[in-house]
Structure 1
């Protein structure tokens, strides 16, 4: 695949922020985001919204970071270092979502906000809850209207829209329902769509549909795939890619990361962005 360009030695790279939860097992969350940021040559900044207690077998608990610390991290980075794109992940509660949304609106009213990719993390791949049920409405009403792009998986789509995606028809219904909640673009990922032998994603801007397909990688080690896709999309947007081109790039990136996934612990291992270390031009 064609990678994003790397900065010249000594040159300040583009900056992308992740506003998400920390994964103690290192497979998903902020850790997965930072791996993709680094491998794609951008400087990663963080606002830690929650700290999880998890390993390859699941999430055992999590701790929410105080609101002023979450928003403070965003403000001090944006006003000093600057960011060219951002993504959200696990935000845990209504209060955190409202605080992040308010802070992002403040940034928009200033010099203008960078593209924002919202990965609406509701539960882990093991089914462990990562978002209080009461926060779903806040996600829909406060954060989605600020998003350049939302990137839910099929379980998250069902929780957010009530639509159970089982085929191409319901996937189209779901992406339209997501877009109606206010984001500029909506993406319904098809990695878990078992009715297809491939992995079909569908992107929608309120007028046009864009389809992205890739081979389905036969692996049980897919921890962090959603985080990685959203992180790669944010990196491409920081480089000035259009949303369809950014999604296409990220789709190719996460496919390679799935191909290079490795076992870890006694459960599901992570997708791996480390393959780029073996690629030419690094």
Structure 2
């Protein structure tokens, strides 16, 4: 049985819990075939990032041509893009292959700051992210901090999330999945999918304590891309991806100094 091809365009996490490593594990567990385009090498583990080596834009372009020219791509997920040059290169080539007739869904995880606090997107690259890449997206998946950088207001409660998700979607002209996992003093992990037309969907799970959240954003956006590549609607893909992430959190296991996500949770199989 064939599987849809889904590509991650993101950074490599030497700790294995986030970045392309998390993306490829997620694609496999959710029933898709994963290919990868590496934007950066990082020296990191869940405690922090100690080094970033940016890929040359020409080599990034070669990677993209290698996978897009060979595979019938159904979905693309972008993660850590780091610099203005890389964002412009990715955006240009995505446009090129769409113009050639490749009909793929694009999920943009606007990776800006790691859970540990390390900056993963240069300040001067934010404008290019908004102007060049986001207009191509079928969905963007910011957390609360990233949403504020992209133009939302301050969010202090679950009641504020829905109007802000819709407002940001209207401002950017693309559906927004606003992730509430960083909301303080909340017993639920609430996410709101807002559309530019004012429509919205909510997804809630009980907040889980005592695990390292490293890689949750990568895993979530990758699962969404995987399900979109399989033909699910946007709202259904988000719901299925939310279930996958919650299972990965509940079934997290000790690795190193902390618990880490289980990217092959029971109940989900390729």
Does the 8 A contact of 1:90 with 1:130 survive in 2? yes
Name the count of aligned residue pairs.
269
User: 1:229 is matched with which residue?
Assistant: 220
Q: CA deviation at 1:281?
A: 6.8
TM-score (norm 2): 0.94
Q: Which of the residues 18, 22, 35 maps onto 1:45?
A: 35
| 2:31–2:269 CA contact under 8 A, matched in 1 | no
Q: 2:191 aligned with 1:194, yes or no?
A: no
Rounded Cα–Cα distance in structure 1 between residues aligned with 2:265 and 2:162: 33
Per the normalisation by structure 1, the TM-score is 0.90
Equivalent pair of 1:50/1:63 in contact (CA under 8 Å): yes
Structure 1 match to 2:175: 185
Query: 1:102: how far off?
Result: 0.7
In structure 2, the residue matched to 1:6 is none
* Aligned-pair CA distance for 1:183: 4.8
Residue 7 (structure 1) aligns with: none
Question: In the aligned structure 2, how far is the partner of 1:275 from the partner of 1:59?
Answer: 27
Of 164, 167, 181, which aligns to 2:157?
167
Matches within 5 A, 1:135-150: 135-150=125-140
Residues 1-282 of structure 1 aligned to structure 2 (within 5 Å): 11-161=1-151, 163-207=153-197, 208-266=199-257, 268-276=258-266, 279=267
Q: Is the strand fraction higher in 1 or 2?
A: 2
Q: Which runs of 5+ in 2 are unaligned?
A: none
Bigger mean CA offset, 32-41 vs 74-83 = 74-83
The question of whether the paired residues in 1 share the 8 Å contact of 2:152 and 2:167 is answered with: no
Q: Over aligned residue pairs, what C-alpha RMSD do you find?
A: 1.7
Where structure 1 has 5 or more consecutive residues not aligned to the other structure, the ranges are 1-10
Change over 3 Å in CA distance of 1:32–1:209 after alignment to 2:
same
